[in-house]
Amino acid sequence: MTVIVTGGAGFIGSALVRRLNAQKRRVVTIDKLTYAGNPDNLAGLPHPELHRFEQVDICDRAAIKRIYAETKPQAVYHLAAESHVDRSIDSPAPFIETNVNGSLVLLEAALDHWRGLDATAKGQFRHLQVSTDEVYGELGITGFFDENSPYKPNSPYAASKAAADHLARAFGRTYGLPVLVTNCGNNYGPYQFPEKLIPLTILNALEGKRLPVYGKGEQVRDWIQVEDHAAALQLAVETGRPGETYLIGARGEQRNIDLVRKLCAILDELVPQQGGRKYAELITFVTDRPGHDARYAIDPAKAERELGWKPVYDLATGLKATVQWYLDNSAWCRRATATYDRSRIGLG
């Protein structure tokens, strides 16, 4: 049995590919290798003979059709995306191209492939649209998103993901394609491109650079360790009900400023600075992100109940292991940031 993972050279996709490969699953990674895609993320797979890499743009209809015909996947985990909100503020078009048009190309290829299967294989096929809690807009100081929350995306990124979620569900309803959607909170862990808050903070701190915090840092995000997310994605495909949405969250709510302070405290412990200086002294409040959502928080009860999923990491353990990973993998960090200087973007 073969599965396709799109975006498998990215942060979450590579965690999923590493997980499936360790379980000796046959995986085809489709990835264009944008600035965020990194073949190093898939180096050292324990069973390389079971992994096939296709450097392909998901918008390339002919190439996607060829891969489906050659590999006959039983499931598709669709993660390829432009994923950074700040970049979507500066330049929304690539987000529509990949996240909306590319998702449509994949759904059409899946439908063609699925229609040619026998009844048993048709019943087993799954297409998973991997999405974000950002499609639901923002919460006030109380309450949680759940599977019945209305879509209200506020950034171009969130709007593009929302469009793809709607298309996926429409393919399920209109054509009967066995589609599932998962919406997850903010991921952290190894191999995350250092434009995102946690690796950016760690690498800047180690270089003695300022640690930019947007606005007053009061926005709340719901954090989940990336391997916990990958486990949930596999359970959604293997045990979830087609047509359903599952919200994936680890009850890891945190204000941005508190998260950055926690990272600083971990760094103080693991790599103390000379003279007893504290990394938190580098925190600098900068102009807020335009349209910055105040709070995201997920009620994961349905995923816990129906998929039997439970996160392994709590935030404290997961953050410490993450900081240690970036400390231990400075060569990866150097290569990943060779074309990106960590300067501020997304002011519109």
Q: What amino acid positions are annotated as catalytic residues?
A: 133-134, 157
- Tell me which amino acid residue 260 is: V
150 to 145, 298, 346: CA distances (angstroms): 9, 13, 26
Contact 309, 248 (CB under 8 A): yes
Site residues (CB under 6 A) for ligand NAD?
7, 9-13, 31-34, 36-37, 57-59, 79-83, 98, 102, 130-132, 161, 184, 186-187, 193
Q: How far is the CB of 127 from ligand NAD (least distance, A)?
A: 14
**Beta carbon nearer to ligand NAD, 118 or 341:** 341
Contact 180, 304 (CB under 8 A): no
Q: How far is the CB of 86 from ligand NAD (least distance, A)?
A: 12
Structure tokens at 189: 């862990």
3-class DSSP assignment, residue 230: helix
d(CA 303, CA 251): 13
Q: Phi and psi for 78 in degrees, rounded to 5?
A: -100, 105
**Beta carbon nearer to ligand NAD, 168 or 184:** 184
Strand 253-255 versus strand 186-188 pairing type: unpaired
**Beta carbon nearer to ligand NAD, 34 or 245:** 34
d(CA 266, CA 273): 12
d(CA 186, CA 226): 9
**Beta carbon nearer to ligand NAD, 172 or 190:** 190
**Beta carbon nearer to ligand NAD, 95 or 114:** 95
Looking at the chain, how many residues does it have? 348
Q: Which residue is nearest to ligand NAD (CB)?
A: 10
**Beta carbon nearer to ligand NAD, 37 or 318:** 37
Instruction: Collect all residues with Cβ–Cβ distance below 8 Å to 25 and sequence separation of at least 6.
Output: 1, 3, 50
d(CA 107, CA 167): 8
Contact 28, 73 (CB under 8 A): yes
